[in-house]
Amino acid sequence: MITTPSILLIEDDIDDQEIFTSALAFIDSGIVCSIAANGYEAIMHLNEAVALPDLIFLDLNMPMMNGVQFLREVKAGHKAKDIPVIVFSTASDMKIVQEAKLLGADQFITKPEKFSELVGMLHGLLFPATK
């Protein structure tokens, strides 16, 4: 039986938040997705969480605490250090991509332009056995 994952999306752009959560709802309305607008909010959310998410999707370019800073803090010993992190960004600078991977990001995915591509990508990541 495939369980429904819980997700933390760390994204400052409201439009991107809405598209991401709409894609998740299209895949499975039971998926729980919490949202933090930057790395600092995400750390606070994780600190207060009774149950940690199964997966973190992380944008890199955000105010207050960006994605690289978030990775550095979480992967250095936070209680959420073992949660897989998928960098989900429009950034394509190879130096940033490599830095994110060195800091512990499990994958780096460029945000798709089409809703259908986002749905397909998310479905493949969340339910790989059913592709």
Task: Give the CATH architecture of domain 6-126.
Answer: 3-Layer(aba) Sandwich (3.40)
Identify which of 10-24, 82-96, 114-128 has the greatest average pLDDT: 10-24
What is the arithmetic mean of pLDDT over 42-63? 92
- Reported as a pLDDT band with limits 50, 70 and 90, residue 129 is low
How high is the pLDDT of residue 130?
53
Kindly state the tokens that stand for 61.
Answer: 């370019």
102 by Cβ neighbours in 10 Å (0-12 / 13-18 / 19+) ranks as exposed
How high is the pLDDT of residue 127?
78
- Report domain extents, the chain: 6-126
CA–CA dist 56, 80 (Å, integer): 10
